[in-house]
Amino acid sequence: MNLIKGDLWQEVATADLILFTANSSLDRYGRLVMGAGSAMEAQQRWPDLPARIGADLREWGMVNDEYLLWLPDSMNDPKPYVGAFQTKRQWFRKSNLHLIARSCDALAEELTGSRSWAKRVAMPFPGIGFGGLQREKVLPLLSCLPDSVFVYER
């Protein structure tokens, strides 16, 4: 894992996969709540994401539950592929260290398994912005991520 000071969105031209931090709350229209931070920025760039992710969470029975990662299921999606890295269940709560650790483990497993095609993955530092956690408590959880993951801090 590599820590980078800068803007996550500079990776649009180079990353195979860009992750934004997310919750599992849906709005009244069944869309993932993406109202702040990297989630809001992803929604602004890819307006169909909240509906796509919301539909999958409903289908999987994971609304306000732990899904850990949402990754595109179609290699026909335009690059960069964009996915969700879950840090909390409800958008208005603080991020959860246990959930971040599980999401990190799931990502590490994906990158050595079926998503090994992702040679460069970019994501924000999870849980420390709108998640309300202290950086020094989250940092050790990221140690399981492979060198192909670039974690951005502003």
Q: Which tens digit of pLDDT belongs to each residue from 13-70?
A: 999 999 999 999 999 999 999 999 999 999 999 999 999 999 999 999 999 999 999 9
Of 110, 83, 116, 86, nearest to 17 by C-alpha is 83
Q: Which tens digit of pLDDT belongs to each residue from 58-109?
A: 999 999 999 999 998 765 666 788 999 999 999 999 999 999 999 999 999 9
- Distance CA(105)–CA(88), nearest Å, equals 15
CA distance to 43, 55, 88, 106, per residue, from 110 (Å): 23, 22, 20, 6
Domain range for 113 is 2-153
Domain count, the chain: 1
CATH number, position 9: 3.40.220.10
The pTM for the full model equals 0.94
